[in-house]
Amino acid sequence: MFVKRQISNIIKAQQSKFPILAVTGPRQSGKTTMLKELFEEYRYVSLENPDMRFFASEDPNGFLNEYSEKVILDEIQTVPQLFSYLQTKVDENKKMGQYILSGSQNFSLINKITQTLAGRVALFKLLPLDFEELKTENLLAESYQETIFKGFYPAIFDREIDPNIFYANYLQTYVEKDVTEILNVRDLTTFRTFLGLCAARAGQLLNISGLANDCNISQPTAKAWLSILESSYIIFKLHPFHENFNKRLVKSPKLYFNDTGLLSHLLGIRAASEINTNRLKGNLFENLILAELQKKNYHQYLHSNYYFWQDSNANEVDILTKNNEDFKISEIKATETITATLFKQLDRFEEIAKPAKVKKTLIYGGLNSQKRSRYEIVSWKDISL
């Protein structure tokens, strides 16, 4: 089964405009499958292959002479010295669409692109499947509980793998292996504890001091581990909106996971039905919505900025975007029943933000979207940026 990715047409359109295209994203998100399908005429080279990696490392000029154009170079970050040679190669040839690069380590890849390939590369991010991609193949579950639990990695749908089995292996094979190698983590038990503590804080304000204390590690270590988890596309942060409405505002970001299936696994959830009684049900639903917006933003190449807003008086909105002087705000609630109390925080923000115009949206766990005179009510299955 091949699910057409939303970003594929956008990537293809840049083939004639840049000498290099680069796609990053977590392992198993479907980068290789998409690129092979999109660029069938290109040769494919995996630099995780020891022989290819040795060739590229020891003789970069010879390697690039052998693979001179129309080549997909996968896991390019494993041979960092190759970037400078690529710069020289594309500057000499001036051919568009000469190389397609992909990598699962965002920190290494972005760093090298910034240093050596700026202006020569179009950069894209491919995260696990989004709602629209699943809908095209009738793969999106009817309940948000099943959607959260199953997660969004293509292999789960392609090979019908039990999420419990997939995520147990994903953690051991990719997350722990990659992250511990980068950080030289000797105590794997402590790192697993750290991951679990991050999961328990999904949808909450990030308190690095508290996280470090609970894990019995130093704050610099906690910061370093968070940074690598973020650059490996395991977690992401949602930052607060700082405009002051004569209130003291929260300055800490919120922590979320890019995939709710992995998050559920880390929380010990082993069946979709367990989500209904889990104390973090609301956090899981909120994470589902924020992760979907994150994927839409990257897959549709929108470059939108969204935030949350919270002040010291417990006034808050879950999602905020600003266009000129107007606001669009959303409240996220897992309930499937609409009541008047769900709109309270939206109304409070509108009052605080006067005279600015405020568009108010409730995203909820039900299936029926509707437009009211003062609010838009959106099913979790119908959300958009």
Tens digit of each residue's pLDDT (9 = 90 or more) over 185-231 = 777 889 999 999 999 999 999 999 999 999 999 999 999 999 989 98
pLDDT at 360 over 70: yes
295 — pLDDT class (breaks 50, 70, 90): very high
Give the lowest-confidence range in 5-19, 107-121, 310-324, 349-363. Answer: 107-121
pLDDT, tens digit (0-9, with 9 covering 90-100), for 55-91: 999 999 999 999 999 999 999 988 999 999 999 999 9
d(CA 382, CA 371): 13
Give me 201's structure tokens: 């804080």
pLDDT reported for residue 246: 65
pLDDT at 337 over 70: yes
Enclosing H/E stretch for 320 = strand 316-323
Give the lowest-confidence range in 32-41, 102-111, 143-152. Answer: 102-111
pLDDT at 243 over 80: no
pLDDT reported for residue 106: 64
d(CA 155, CA 165): 11
Give me 90's structure tokens: 């594309």
Strands (E), 25-163: 43-46, 71-74, 99-103, 121-125
Chain mean pLDDT for the chain: 94
Burial (CB < 10 A; 0-12, 13-18, 19+), residue 220, is exposed
Helices 219-231 & 176-183 angle (0-180, nearest 10):
130
Between 249 and 334, whose confidence is greater? 334
pLDDT reported for residue 183: 74
**All structural domains of the chain:** 8-125 (3.40.50.300), 131-284 (1.10.10.10), 307-382 (no CATH)
CA of 222: how far to CAs of 30, 149, 163, 207, 370, in Å?
A: 29, 27, 28, 10, 43
247 — pLDDT class (breaks 50, 70, 90): low
pTM beyond 0.85: the answer is yes
pLDDT at 249 over 90: no
pLDDT reported for residue 153: 98
pLDDT at 107 over 70: no
Q: Which of 102, 115, 116 is nearest to 73 (CA)?
A: 102
d(CA 242, CA 309): 8
Return the amino acid letter for 71: V
d(CA 115, CA 112): 5
Tell me what the mean pLDDT of segment 303-316 comes to. 91
d(CA 381, CA 363): 9
Return the amino acid letter for 167: Y
- Residues 305-342: b if buried by 16+ CB within 10 A, e if exposed: ebbbbbbeeebbbbbbbbeeeebbbbbbbbeeebeeeb
Return the amino acid letter for 346: L
Q: What is the DSSP letter of 205?
A: B
pLDDT reported for residue 10: 97
pLDDT reported for residue 285: 98
385 — pLDDT class (breaks 50, 70, 90): confident
pLDDT reported for residue 113: 82
d(CA 97, CA 94): 10
CB 261 within 8 A of CB 146: no
pLDDT reported for residue 312: 85
d(CA 159, CA 167): 14
d(CA 300, CA 320): 19
Give me 134's structure tokens: 């699943």
d(CA 10, CA 286): 28
Helices 188-200 & 208-215 angle (0-180, nearest 10):
140
269 — pLDDT class (breaks 50, 70, 90): very high
